[in-house]
Structure 1
């Protein structure tokens, strides 16, 4: 702002120099408004160069002094006239000298004015340059302010994008970590299964050798302990997935509750498992079902039923082993199943989780199945009855040690599913029998 005012004053001064109506005294007064230049000692010299008379108190004297000066000048003129004849020669010399002085003064004033004009032109040029520089600086400052505002907005945007990418990366890393843990657990299961299979083969070989070596001592430690420990360690993780599994399958929204199991639900072609879902309602109240559900012993009707006692296992966890006989045409096969079940008692429901491993024998030799099951027992919406919902997933496997005919693995899977349905119906019948006896007061 101060630069603009200074430039305006310089332009005004230059215009006053060109204006013939402005006197030299006014021009000098305009140069210094606070302390007039006329009061300086060298002012008379400047006034002579500008052909201007000094301004003093004589300019403001009364008319009487003017008349007196006029009379004095008149007297001097008459005296000079009278003495012209006597002093004509010296007077001529003085006039010549005066003319020379005036001529020199005119030349000096002309040079000074020419110099002032050049300086004025240079000042005009400098004013124009400074004006251009000022405009350029103002434009540059506005551009810098605009860039500053835009830069802040871009910085905030980049921060938001960076935070978003960071969160996505953290989520991806967490998912990768979970997948690695799942792969490690599956690898451990595969290794344990390999150990079980190798020990089973070794056991069968020992049985063959036993016929030729009757004195050989029997094996004391069961080869299935590693499998049982692996499944027991997985039960809590399977229980944690209960709600997500039921939400994915949509069992709770299913209106059909007349049969325990429905047709197998269609799953993705990329999935390597078969899924069976079911829902059933019993008329007994939930509190009575909760009291007797732990007394039901399932799969006891199976051949070679054996309950395995493991150290450090709670009463809510059961480990059993049994055999299922099956006939395929004229051939006979059997299924050896290892089942681990656990009950989780919650405030408003009971969750039953099981893991089951099946080995095929006879016509099913070399075939295996990995099974995971979820069962929820909860009160009905009106509280008068009890609803039981189930989801079972089967993962059939066939090892290359035995070549299986085409379609044999599907028959093996169907046999396992049918056996599972039979076991569940048997458990439900036992539970309803206990509840009915309790309602009738039968000891």
Structure 2
């Protein structure tokens, strides 16, 4: 609008000049002037007046149109000035909407995972109930006489329970995996601090039930990628002579299931043994490797008959190109259903819990030691 103003002024001056009478190119003769002066005088005046009227009307229309266009330009400029704010406001609400949508989708996915985990836990609890009931019935039969039939029936039941326990536990691992950060934050296992070591403590939950909590942290002077591969190898080959590998897992590449026994002789002169079923699953992320496991400890025939313990654990390996950090957290929940059947039940239950915790913590120490050994041997082979 501002740049066109000089041009429009020149156009108006031009039209004003057109209102004046134009002079002829050659001077007419006196004879022609005398002949035409009378006849053309009135015609020229009328023609000039008509031209002036048309020019004024045209300029008026142009002026009105120019003013209207100027008003439209001002209105468009105002709209353009408010458009970024409107778009910014819309983008903000769009972002809020997308955040709500992502939260809802994540909540729905979490809801499905929890429902699946609850269903799996229900199956596992029912299996525990069946196991406990069978154990009570078998012990009553044993007291009435005949240990041979009890042992035979117990062997058949244990073989069927193995598959059920491993399959059900594997279905709960996704829900357990999503609790990793929450569990480690609550336990105070930070990967950035310098504190390392192992600690086992007896705690009590909201219902005043006793459980054991084990934390472990260790650093390795090896890069994360290398340590991650060695940990996967360690979990796949870490088998003691008395351990049995269960081969009925659907995903043997990331899941390992084993079973082994731990025996001892108590101070009261009785022999006792514990059967431990262990299953773990590996989850590989961009900057860390997470391993979750579940252990079901069962007291076999002897002083520990009818005693059980459920263990849930998490292991996180993280680091960078210079070093790696291994952190572990495990929770052991002992369950004694035989206080009324076995004499000195409280003492035996405490000894059973200590034995299970010792077996599990020593297994964690052995895995960490094997990991370091593999890393050192691999480094020597490349030097």
Indicate which of 230, 235, 260 corresponds to 2:173: 235
Q: 1:198/1:227 Cα in 2 relative to 1: closer, same or farther (>3 Å)?
A: farther
Q: Which piece of structure 1 moves more, 406-415 or 383-392?
A: 406-415
1:332 aligns with 2:267: no
Q: What is aligned with 1:295?
A: 233
* Equivalent residues of 2:274, 2:299 under 8 A apart: yes
Indicate which of 127, 130, 135 corresponds to 1:195: 130
* 1:39-78 equivalent positions in 2, closer than 5 A: none
1:281 aligns with 2:226: no
Indicate which of 306, 317, 321 corresponds to 2:259: 321
Q: Distance in 1 between matches of 2:190 and 2:369?
A: 22
* Equivalent residues of 1:262, 1:278 under 8 A apart: yes
Q: What is aligned with 1:71?
A: none
TM-score (norm 2): 0.59
* Equivalent residues of 2:280, 2:293 under 8 A apart: yes
**Cα drift, residue 364 of structure 1:** 1.2
1:435 aligns with 2:370: no
* Equivalent residues of 2:200, 2:213 under 8 A apart: no
Q: Distance in 1 between matches of 2:194 and 2:201?
A: 14
Q: Distance in 1 between matches of 2:116 and 2:158?
A: 34
* Equivalent residues of 1:280, 1:388 under 8 A apart: yes
Indicate which of 405, 415, 424 corresponds to 2:355: 415
1:372 aligns with 2:307: no
**Cα drift, residue 209 of structure 1:** 3.4
Q: Distance in 2 between matches of 1:331 and 1:351?
A: 40
- Matched residue count: 264
Q: What is aligned with 2:366?
A: 426
1:363 aligns with 2:303: yes
TM-score (norm 1): 0.52
Q: What is aligned with 2:292?
A: 353
1:139-189 deviations in Å (ceiling 9; x for gaps): xxxxxxxxxxxxxxxxxxxxxxxxxxxxxxx9xxx9999998876654432
Moved over 4 A (4+): 174-186, 197-207, 217-221, 253-256, 265-269
Indicate which of 262, 273, 277 corresponds to 2:199: 262
* Equivalent residues of 1:368, 1:397 under 8 A apart: yes
Q: Which piece of structure 1 moves more, 341-350 or 398-407?
A: 398-407
Q: 1:225/1:202 Cα in 2 relative to 1: closer, same or farther (>3 Å)?
A: farther
Unaligned regions of 5+ residues in structure 2, if any? Answer: 1-103
Q: Distance in 1 between matches of 2:180 and 2:364?
A: 19
Q: 1:277/1:440 Cα in 2 relative to 1: closer, same or farther (>3 Å)?
A: same
Q: Which piece of structure 1 moves more, 345-354 or 406-415?
A: 406-415
Q: 1:270/1:253 Cα in 2 relative to 1: closer, same or farther (>3 Å)?
A: farther
* Equivalent residues of 1:302, 1:323 under 8 A apart: no
